Amino acid sequence: MYTSKILKVTIVGATGKTGKSLALTLKQSSIIDELAVYDTNPIAGLLLELSHIDSRCKTICCNMESDKRRLEHALTGAKVVVITLEYQYLYEEAHFLKMLIPQIVNYCPQALVALVSRSTNCLLPMMFELYKKLGIYEHGRLFGITNLYSIRANNCASKTIGISPEFISVPLIGGCSTKTCIPVFSHTRPCANFSFEETLGMTQIMQTADYRLAQAYNDTSTNIVESSSVCTGFAAARFCISLCKAVRSESGIFEYAYVRCCLIPELKYMTTLMELGPHGLQKYMGLPELTNQECTSLFRVIPEIRKSIALGESGVGDAISGRYIGVGRIARNDTVNSDKSKWQARCGGGESER
């Protein structure tokens, strides 16, 4: 149990565009007492800017020269940790998590940990395996944030129905990427009276959102993570605030997230609705009844999600200890050769968003 009543939230990866958006949104929250920010990049400017914001949330500043001491200071006493990863290559994110997870276990083992990454399908299973190797089996404290897809689906449905998006709720299933997260428009609340053409159109908007954002920003690079950094940070903050409310023992906190579960036999991890409590995942809320179109969409993405899960689970220990790290620069959207067994050759199996 926590001995302190102070609700401290730590953002790891705060100087990226998503991290800055997340930090700004959380700094405005009245439910958070302390906000600690950490990054391997220089962070003094961000800390100074956040300190200028006149909200009750206190920004934790650490001026220690040692990077390890800064991380220790940021993590100690944290009840919620949000990790934002914006590396271009999957092996870089895996290597960073391998360094970070033991520190989280050491300094805040009871913290609820949420991950923001375009490779969450792969990296969340890897995080759980790292926790297991350190003797912790509490999968209910680990979450892959899917709120970006929630707000997009709610927005699409609200425009089609013609009511404010604040009153819309679209269920999600599947994975945690643009390609694998399936919006269940047939169970949209308060109204789900969509035609087949309307559902198809909204689904297409969801699947092409990142590409259209990259075009709007004139981003010609293969890494389009930063194109949606503002809304990703906002979405992550929304989930983080729900975690904070749960830590404060508020009841009736429901969220969608990519978590370890056994709701369908084919997947160890998937996106589902759950009830949150002080210790994290409190109850799975089950799956909604799907239409034939939604069933087809789900079964189409299951092989890709399973491949990502297997990649993450096999990426622990020697596979990411440096034996294959740095041998080559494998991007997320490189072609995956299924008969290659080594991590460095397979790390292109992360989610391609194109």
Is 141 a domain residue?
yes
Q: Is the pLDDT of residue 84 over 80?
A: yes
Whole-angstrom distance, CA of residue 67 vs CA of residue 53: 26
Residue 129 and residue 205 share a domain: no
E strand residue ranges, 93-199: 112-116, 142-145, 172-174, 181-183
Q: Is this structure's pTM higher than 0.85?
A: yes
Residue 154 and residue 47 share a domain: no
Least reliable range by pLDDT among 55-64, 192-201, 294-303:
55-64
Q: Is the pLDDT of residue 103 over 80?
A: yes
Predicted pLDDT of residue 216: 83
Last residue of one domain, picked from the residues 113, 145, 177? 145
Residue 174 and residue 126 share a domain: no
Is 243 a domain residue?
no
Q: Is the pLDDT of residue 65 over 80?
A: no
Range of the domain at 212: 147-227+255-293
Pairing assessment for the beta strands 80-84 and 8-12 based on DSSP bridges: parallel
Residue 135 and residue 154 share a domain: no
Both tokens of 208, joined, read 């092409």
Is 240 a domain residue?
no
Last residue of one domain, picked from the residues 92, 125, 145? 145
Residue 25 and residue 97 share a domain: yes
CA angle 78, 119, 76 (to 5 degrees): 10
Predicted pLDDT of residue 191: 86
Tell me, what CATH number does 125's domain have? 3.40.50.720
Average pLDDT score over residue span 6-18: 94
Residue 221 and residue 132 share a domain: no
Provide the percentage of residues in the chain whose pLDDT is more than 70: 84
- State whether the Cα torsion 176-180-185-186 is positive or negative: negative
Residue 168 and residue 137 share a domain: no
Least reliable range by pLDDT among 13-22, 36-45, 117-126, 214-223:
214-223
pLDDT band at 193 (very low <50, low <70, confident <90, very high): confident
| Enclosing H/E stretch for 12 | strand 8-12
Is 221 a domain residue?
yes
Predicted pLDDT of residue 354: 31
Is 72 a domain residue?
yes
Residue 64 and residue 135 share a domain: yes
Is 235 a domain residue?
no
For 111-163, the pLDDT digits (tens) are 999 999 999 999 999 999 999 999 999 899 999 999 999 999 999 999 999 99
Long-range contacts of 23-29 (CB under 8 A, 24+ apart): 23/50, 23/233, 24/50, 24/53, 24/233, 25/233, 25/234, 25/237, 26/57, 26/237, 26/240, 26/241, 27/53, 27/55, 27/57, 27/59, 28/53, 28/55, 28/57, 29/55, 29/57, 29/237, 29/241, 29/244
Least reliable range by pLDDT among 91-95, 174-178, 226-230:
226-230
Q: Is the pLDDT of residue 336 over 50?
A: no
Last residue of one domain, picked from the residues 122, 145, 168? 145
In this predicted model, which residue has the larger pLDDT, 242 or 66?
Answer: 242
Average pLDDT score over residue span 242-246: 97
Please state, rounded to an integer, the average pLDDT across all residues of the chain.
85
Is 250 a domain residue?
no
Is 246 a domain residue?
no
Residue 93 and residue 194 share a domain: no
pLDDT band at 277 (very low <50, low <70, confident <90, very high): very high
pLDDT band at 68 (very low <50, low <70, confident <90, very high): confident
Average pLDDT score over residue span 233-245: 97
Domains in the chain, number:
3
Sole residue written with tokens 């700094």: 27
Average pLDDT score over residue span 94-109: 95
Average pLDDT score over residue span 208-234: 76
Predicted pLDDT of residue 222: 43
Residue 270 and residue 153 share a domain: yes
Predicted pLDDT of residue 221: 52
pLDDT band at 224 (very low <50, low <70, confident <90, very high): low
Q: Is the pLDDT of residue 226 over 80?
A: no
Predicted pLDDT of residue 340: 33
Tell me, what CATH number does 286's domain have? 3.90.110.10
Residue 317 and residue 220 share a domain: no
Average pLDDT score over residue span 159-184: 93
Average pLDDT score over residue span 238-261: 97
Q: Is the pLDDT of residue 64 over 70?
A: no
Residue 326 and residue 189 share a domain: no
